[in-house]
Structure 1
Amino acid sequence: MKPTIYDVAREAGVSIATVSKVINNTGRISEKTRKLVLSVMKEMNYQPSVVASALTGKSTYTIGLMIPDLANPFFSGIARSIEDRGHALGYNIVICSTDYDPEKEAKYISLLLQKSVDGIILASGFENVETVRELIKQKVPLAIIAREIPSLEVDTVAVDDFLGGYQAASHLISLGHRRIAIIARDLWSNRERMRGYRHALDEAGIDYGRDVEYVMESNVESGKALAEKLLRSADPPTAIFACNDLLAMGAIHAARRLGMSIPRDLSVVGFDNTAWASVTDPPLTTVAQPIRDMGTHVMNLLIQEINGEKKHKQRIVLLPELVVRESTAKYVRDM
């Protein structure tokens, strides 16, 4: 037989009312008691009735997470960190991968609201600001990760993308590179990284192309196609800053296809420091995002919002860190 709320109360040595408070995050109970009850629920594999909770307007202990591309190791890392923190807090995570498609975004938002999720987390790539504004208007508990929307009052956890772009370009400049190309997708985070890149070049008195050709997809193939185009141009770059690790790996593949050696003939810097960065050939110099910390912070903010534990929205900006590996080297000759 499945354990009941009565079984949990008896095993934990507390009242049924106390177990109910833990399940629904209501009332005043000590942290020690809450942890005890959660521990007993886990040991007994007790599952509150989510359907019943939803019908009575109570918590379903479910969070919706919308990410643009689950195949991207950065977003899969974000999803894992959020899921881990959510489970530690007693919440299940429903992951929706939107493929950067506005129609999918609208469909998933509607689905999550129908399922009475307790809150929603939107990841970088969600560009529909009007939808975010409408969710805020409807008082849906909401948090955003890996991007910012300065015009809206919403809990946000992001990395300093401007600083990350600045670090990447400054590293290449310090190695003597002057023809430094950038590969990016037209997203808020990438635009900020590009701002940092341009600021570093401006400081060094280096001109750059004002017209930027964005890739259509944030994957290896897109990085490969645009990098090959850049490297076949009349004035090819000696270094490329790619705004994520997948694009950077594409640039490395393109250079090899053209008979070039990395980093002797071309230096490449990525962004994210995904698991793949250390196992590419050569290992990739990249700007690290603190993925686990980002997931933990965003879940904490959202749960506080759900529980009504704070009066004001918070904006947490974490620092990126340049990780130097073997895909970059001093510029020693013209190409």
Structure 2
Amino acid sequence: MSYTIKDVARHANVSIATVSRIINNQVGYSEKTKKRVLAAIEELGYQPNAVARGLINKRTHTIGVLFPKLSSTLVTDLLSGIEKATHEAGSSVIVCHTESNGEKTMKYLQLLNEKRIDGIIFTSAPLYEEYYEYIKKMNVPMVLLSTETYSFPVPYVKVNDRHAAYTATQYLISKGHKKIGMLCGNVEDAVSGKPRFDGFKSALKDHNLPFDDNNVVFNKAFTFHDGAESLKILLKQVPDLTAVFAASDEMAIGAISSAYELGIKVPEELSIIGYDNLSIADMSTPPLTTVAQPLTEMGEMAAKMLFELLDSDQTVESRIMPHKIVERKSVLKKEE
């Protein structure tokens, strides 16, 4: 049997308005009354109707999250943090897989608009003007996660990719490596590709190490396959490399796999450092040394910022999250 708010009010001997205020965390009742109503809700197994709640407080208690790729392990960690903060706020998440496709992204934005979602977290992809203008017309708050924009006034949560890539390269240099290569993403990607490439180049320059175009292989993405194939290319171009910085953990583990096929021992003959600190970094052989992004915390922070925007008319500040090197077994100190 499905119970209604009238049944709860009758069971607790209070008015329907009182039950409604308690469900929606409004004022105007005693603690004793609240306990009685909550007990009645639990006893009857009453589930408040989300649509009815939305009519009362002008919210649907749902947020939309747009990801360019769902197969990435990175998404799992970001989404874990988003869901934690969202559920604590009494809301739910609709996840949209855009595949970095403009037409698909716009269709998902139209769907989210029809669903009357309360806000949007836009992740890991450039925020184009078409998206921004549509979301602006939706009149809902938005937070960027693992991406940023200089064109529009939208708060973001991310790591400083340039600085983090610099740190990874500097770590290899501190281990005595002078012939260092990079497996890079798409250099035209202003979110992750170019900043990580720039950080790599800057670290070499600041430590008086020459940069050569042959020391970098560019890819369209940051996948295991990209890492595996581009390491083979990189070693053909520069056979005497002693260390490699991969622009993602998936690429780094692809490189480790490729090195195994080529009969190259990691880290004895080739040191490899990754970027992200995904859960798979601990599972590789050898376990992957990497520069860590606090992905779960980033997702949680983005959701909290979104609810802060919903609960007040104030703006929120963007957050640059800390990164650090997590040492495992894939980098070896080079003997002089």
**TM-score, structure 2 normalization:** 0.86
Counterpart in the other structure of 1:182: 182
Cα pair 2:126 2:148 within 8 Å, conserved: no
CA RMSD of aligned residues (A): 3.2
Other structure's SS at 2:69 match: coil
Cα pair 2:126 2:149 within 8 Å, conserved: no
- The within-5 A match list for 1:196-275 is 196-210=199-213, 213-275=217-279
Residues 130 and 39 (structure 1), Cα distance of their counterparts in 2 relative to 1, 3 Å cut: farther
Counterpart in the other structure of 1:322: 325
Cα distance between partner residues in 2 of 1:207 and 1:30: 72
Cα distance between partner residues in 2 of 1:111 and 1:158: 27
5+ unaligned residues in a row in structure 1: which ranges? none
- The within-5 A match list for 1:66-85 is 66-85=66-85
Counterpart in the other structure of 1:145: 145
Q: AA paired with 2:69?
A: D
Cα distance between partner residues in 2 of 1:288 and 1:36: 48
Does structure 1 residue 97 correspond to structure 2 residue 97?
yes
Residues 330 and 65 (structure 1), Cα distance of their counterparts in 2 relative to 1, 3 Å cut: same
Residues 306 and 255 (structure 1), Cα distance of their counterparts in 2 relative to 1, 3 Å cut: same
Other structure's SS at 1:65 match: strand
Cα distance between partner residues in 2 of 1:280 and 1:168: 18
How far 1:270 moved relative to its partner?
0.9
Counterpart in the other structure of 1:297: 301
Please say which of residues 319-328 and 66-75 is displaced more in the overlay. Answer: 66-75
Q: AA paired with 1:292?
A: T
Query: Which of 191, 194, 199 is the equivalent residue of 2:194?
Result: 191
Cα pair 2:83 2:300 within 8 Å, conserved: no
Cα pair 2:54 2:61 within 8 Å, conserved: no
Cα distance between partner residues in 2 of 1:200 and 1:32: 64
1:155-180 per-residue CA deviation (whole Å, 9 max, x = no partner) reads 21112222211210110011111222
Residues 234 and 268 (structure 1), Cα distance of their counterparts in 2 relative to 1, 3 Å cut: closer
Cα distance between partner residues in 2 of 1:32 and 1:258: 72
- The within-5 A match list for 1:52-71 is 52=52, 58-71=58-71
Q: AA paired with 1:226?
A: S
Cα distance between partner residues in 2 of 1:270 and 1:36: 55
Cα distance between partner residues in 2 of 1:39 and 1:223: 56
Counterpart in the other structure of 2:285: 281
Cα distance between partner residues in 1 of 2:85 and 2:52: 25
Other structure's SS at 1:188 match: coil
Q: AA paired with 1:118?
A: D
Residues 60 and 188 (structure 1), Cα distance of their counterparts in 2 relative to 1, 3 Å cut: same
1:59-106 per-residue CA deviation (whole Å, 9 max, x = no partner) reads 111111111222211111111221122112111111112222223222
Other structure's SS at 2:301 match: helix
Other structure's SS at 2:218 match: coil
Cα distance between partner residues in 1 of 2:198 and 2:285: 29
5+ unaligned residues in a row in structure 2: which ranges? none
How far 1:285 moved relative to its partner?
0.4
Cα distance between partner residues in 1 of 2:23 and 2:167: 46
Cα pair 1:154 1:314 within 8 Å, conserved: no
Cα distance between partner residues in 2 of 1:39 and 1:236: 72
How far 1:22 moved relative to its partner?
6.0
How far 1:332 moved relative to its partner?
3.9
Cα pair 1:161 1:193 within 8 Å, conserved: yes
Counterpart in the other structure of 1:119: 119
Cα distance between partner residues in 2 of 1:46 and 1:138: 32
Q: AA paired with 1:132?
A: Y
How far 1:219 moved relative to its partner?
1.5
How far 1:25 moved relative to its partner?
6.9
